[in-house]
Amino acid sequence: MNGTNHIAGGLLFTGIFASFWNINIFSDAGLIGLTVLGSVLPDIDHTKSPIGKLFWPLSRYLDTRYGHRTITHSLLFLLGLTLFSYLIQRLVCPSYPITLILFFSAFSHLILDMITIAGIPLFYPFVKNPCVIPGNPNFRLESGNFRTEAIAFVIFGSLLFTCNDLFANGFWTSYNRAFGTLKHLNIESKNTSDFLLVHYDIINNGVHEVDTALLIKSSETKATLYDKGSLIELDEAKSNQHINDLKPIHTRIKYKTVTVNEIYTANDMDKIDFILSNRIITGYIRSNKPFYYHSNGIAEKKNSITLNTVQSPKISLFIDSFNTEVRQQLKQLNIKIQKDIAVWQKEEKEWRQSIVKLGSLKQILANTTDHYERNDIETQIIELQKKLHGSTQPKYVPDPVKSSQIDHLVAKMSLPSDQTFHVNIQYPEIPQQYE
């Protein structure tokens, strides 16, 4: 195998195995240089080789003393090189993978020479018989043959090109991206300290959605994504949701979590509001007296709440007084809000039913040959399409007027002097570019 193919094969071999350690040798000129050096280093025993010419006194000595393809083409040489490079790495640059790169690149040289007709004495000087792969010489390569070397170079070059994603993403990330499931997304999340972007391809309530969002939380069956100020919940158990593909993308931004574990009084509500606002909260809030937890526009009386990845939760004080008028007004407002929610739920249900019915009619139309039935189905499809034209899935938007009225009524009540809140929560620090 000539020097050019040793370099090309060394880059391929080392690039693949380095990817298991999430090292991209093509991301750093120094790593490329180390790979090239290691892939030709065993030929330092040959005075006519490029590396032999560079270190001529040493190559002349090795060639005279041992001959070509002997000591420098053995496991003993590979072991010595590994130990030497390890010492250099420890002394000069502990974080730089000198040992790993030199080991695999030099090992690639031995492997490539083993598939030639002559082979190499891999266990030299203990066993001087050549080691070959495979045993049948008819299936091994002829060194120096132009046709053989050209074919090998084309193969190495093609594989280098096709393995580009593997080198860039690392083996395990590429492995998890290939499966594209919640389980493998969770594995990738556990194996990194970085924020992950997720390129998702899902069908949600019959609507095909393809986009990229920030991963906030994951498990083997669920994941929470953050995109443009809103949360996206992925759940294998959802019958109306089908996950086609999930591809993790490393942001190289460290995942940072802030933890708050403090005791506050009723006079500290502004501080609590500041902590909870514009954040994705996990944890709990407990109080010695009831308080209001605002969810979907409804104020619910609680003594404690558990927050499981909730966006900007809001609480307010509940005043246990004889202010019957204010209490009645709050009750009436909550009734109105519940009616608003009921209307939205009805509209959303009708929309989903229309989507499902349209898909079903199209399926029936594709499978029927009866002209009368086809005309009837086509009429129904046209009517449904007119009804759905330009429409999107109805979303509930709390009435800001009603919400403001609730906040105003709650604020009218006097503050309790002895109420305390135990706030134990965590939230991720969302990178500014993804907020």
pLDDT tens figures, 371-418: 888 899 889 889 888 888 778 888 888 888 988 888 888 777 665 667
What is the domain count for the chain? 4
Q: pTM score > 0.85 for this model?
A: no
Final residue of a structural domain among 166, 201, 234: 166
Which range of residues forms the domain containing residue 307?
Answer: 257-321+413-434
Q: Is 393 helix (H, G, I), strand (E, B) or coil?
A: coil
Predicted pLDDT of residue 144: 78
Predicted pLDDT of residue 417: 62
Q: Both 328 and 377 in a single domain?
A: yes
Mean pLDDT, rounded, for 194-223: 94
> What is the rounded average pLDDT for all residues in the chain?
90
Q: State how far Cα 287 lies from the chain centre.
A: 38
Rounded Cα distance between 178 and 173, Å, is 9
Q: Both 156 and 178 in a single domain?
A: no
Predicted pLDDT of residue 15: 96
Work out the percent of the chain whose per-residue pLDDT is above 70.
Answer: 97
Q: Both 20 and 93 in a single domain?
A: yes
Rounded Cα distance between 256 and 8, Å, is 41
Mean pLDDT, rounded, for 73-82: 95
Q: For 322-362, how does the pLDDT look when each residue is reduced to its tens digit (9 = 90+)?
A: 567 777 888 899 999 999 999 999 998 998 899 889 889 88
Q: Both 311 and 338 in a single domain?
A: no
Q: Both 315 and 328 in a single domain?
A: no
Q: Both 147 and 11 in a single domain?
A: yes
For the chain, the residue count is 435
Q: Both 108 and 15 in a single domain?
A: yes
Say if CB 94 and CB 26 are below 8 A apart: no
Final residue of a structural domain among 122, 143, 166: 166
Q: Both 212 and 264 in a single domain?
A: no
Final residue of a structural domain among 238, 254, 270: 254
Mean pLDDT, rounded, for 305-310: 94
Q: Both 49 and 122 in a single domain?
A: yes
Predicted pLDDT of residue 216: 95
Q: Both 236 and 364 in a single domain?
A: no
Mean pLDDT, rounded, for 268-284: 94
Mean pLDDT, rounded, for 31-58: 91
Phi/psi at 251 (nearest 5 deg)?
-90, -15
Rounded Cα distance between 36 and 96, Å, is 16
Where does the pLDDT of residue 141 fall: very low under 50, low under 70, confident under 90, or very high at 90 and above?
Answer: confident
Provide the H-helix boundaries in 191-298: 269-276
Q: Both 289 and 426 in a single domain?
A: yes
Residue 281: strand pairing partners: 310
Rounded Cα distance between 102 and 106, Å, is 6
Of 70, 155, 168, the C-alpha closest to 119 is 70
Residue 264: strand pairing partners: 421
Task: Look at the block and give the residue holding tokens 């130990």.
Answer: 83
Structure tokens at 317: 């004080």
Q: Both 24 and 146 in a single domain?
A: yes
Predicted pLDDT of residue 48: 85
